């Protein structure tokens, strides 16, 4: 009888987990701004408390921080928007220029494709069948406008929610304590929430400062190399570095494409992506581990799988919130006895060795 009950519980837990991911996939436009709002609030909460200790009311300090965050996002969009829009409009010419610069590589690829097509033609049997219908995809400009509008709406809702969360002060913690009847449960819930806030806010605030430094370093290095729009790539490095593991690779590829188009010499064009990759590697291998240290006690395999999962669910936005979500989940697992095994698996190797007898 007990085995049947355990099997039913496992089945119910499995179905609940699947249902959560299904809801997350289809309710992305609703859930994403809420998650971003909480992340903004967690990132700014240490600064908000500091301003309140200096005598500034909670509402004014929250409004000031959100105004500064809005100004920073707006400034980045203003300085980068015109250039990115011109690149989007000139995409066909850019593609032709890139094809011309890489004509030697293109010829080798075409030769391989021709050989593959000949093999397929020799092995394929002739058959009369229905004609293939090709659905034309929306243009690049229309897709870009849709993405920008959706992102602006999500960020706007997230900033408003963060404003309310920061302005409410300790109201959320008071309501949380009131929700539990027993004193031990109140203490455990409050300890869990404080631990989540400490780890997530510490990580996000520190990684934001690191990313800002990386963006300035990329801007200075690419400006010295002579690459145009170096400030655009500094902004891109700042944003892409929120993507663990994948951000540096994506930035290197984009800088390589632009460098090949801009410089006449293909060998000199390789200098810009090499510099970009070198700076991101130094940041990832030395700067971030030194400054963050034990704040991010996570298994690198778990981090990679979480980034892949949330990128599959929500695209780039999902990859951005993957690590903070994993931090929250690990804190909950560490606090709940039944989930301690999962929390131990998500921990870093050094942390696992410390906990072993």
Q: What is the pLDDT of residue 9?
A: 79
346, 302 Cβ separation under 8 angstroms: yes
157, 35 Cβ separation under 8 angstroms: no
Q: What is the pLDDT of residue 354?
A: 47
Q: What is the pLDDT of residue 151?
A: 75
Task: Tell me how crowded residue 57 is: count the other CB atoms within 10 A of its CB.
Answer: 12
pTM over 0.85: no
Q: Is 1 helix (H, G, I), strand (E, B) or coil?
A: coil
Residue 226's contacts (CB-CB under 8 Å, 6 or more residues apart) are 263
Q: How many CA atoms are closer than 13 Å to the CA of 261, on its beta-carbon side?
A: 19
Report the alpha-carbon distance of residue 32 to residue 30 in Å, rounded: 6
Evaluate the CA torsion angle 303, 305, 309, 311 in order and state its sign.
Answer: positive
Task: Tell me how crowded residue 102 is: count the other CB atoms within 10 A of its CB.
Answer: 16
pLDDT along the chain (357 residues), means of 10: 73 84 85 87 85 87 91 79 63 66 58 59 53 50 59 86 86 77 80 81 85 93 90 89 83 88 83 93 84 68 84 83 84 81 75 46
Which tokens is 288 given? 């971030």
Which tokens is 41 given? 């609030």
Residue 263: what are its φ and ψ, rounded to 5°? -90, 145
Task: Tell me how crowded residue 18 is: count the other CB atoms within 10 A of its CB.
Answer: 10
């Amino acid at each position: 009888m007990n085995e049947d009950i355990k099997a039913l519980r496992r089945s119910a837990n499995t179905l609940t987990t699947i249902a959560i991911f299904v809801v997350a996939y289809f309710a992305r436009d609703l859930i994403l701004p809420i998650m971003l709002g909480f992340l903004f609030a967690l990132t700014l909460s240490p600064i908000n408390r500091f301003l309140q200790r200096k005598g500034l009311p909670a509402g004014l300090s929250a409004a000031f921080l959100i105004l500064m965050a809005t100004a920073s996002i707006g400034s980045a969009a203003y300085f980068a928007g015109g250039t990115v829009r011109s690149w989007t409009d000139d995409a066909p010419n850019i593609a032709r220029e890139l094809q011309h610069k890489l004509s030697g590589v293109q010829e080798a690829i075409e030769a391989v494709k021709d050989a593959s097509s000949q093999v397929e033609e020799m092995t394929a049997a002739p058959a009369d069948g229905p004609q293939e219908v090709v659905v034309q995809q929306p243009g690049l400009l229309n897709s870009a406008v849709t993405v920008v509008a959706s992102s602006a709406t999500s960020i706007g809702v997230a900033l408003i929610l963060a404003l309310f969360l920061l302005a409410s002060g300790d109201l959320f913690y008071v309501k949380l304590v009131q929700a539990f009847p027993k004193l031990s449960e109140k203490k455990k819930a409050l300890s869990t929430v404080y631990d989540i806030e400490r780890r997530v806010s510490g990580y996000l605030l520190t990684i934001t400062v690191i990313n800002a430094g990386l963006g300035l370093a990329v801007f200075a290095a690419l400006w010295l190399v002579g690459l145009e729009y170096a400030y655009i790539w500094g902004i891109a490095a700042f944003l892409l570095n929120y993507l663990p593991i994948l951000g540096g690779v994506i930035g290197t590829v984009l800088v390589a494409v632009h460098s090949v188009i801009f410089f006449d010499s293909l060998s000199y064009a390789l200098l810009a992506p090499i510099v970009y990759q070198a700076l991101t590697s130094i940041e990832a291998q030395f700067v971030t581990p030194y400054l963050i240290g034990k704040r991010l006690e996570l298994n690198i395999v778990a981090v990679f799988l979480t980034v892949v999962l949330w990128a599959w669910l929500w695209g780039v936005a999902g990859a951005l919130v993957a690590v903070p979500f994993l931090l929250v989940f690990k804190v909950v697992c560490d606090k709940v006895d039944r989930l301690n095994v999962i929390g131990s698996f998500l921990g870093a190797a050094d942390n696992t060795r410390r906990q072993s007898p």
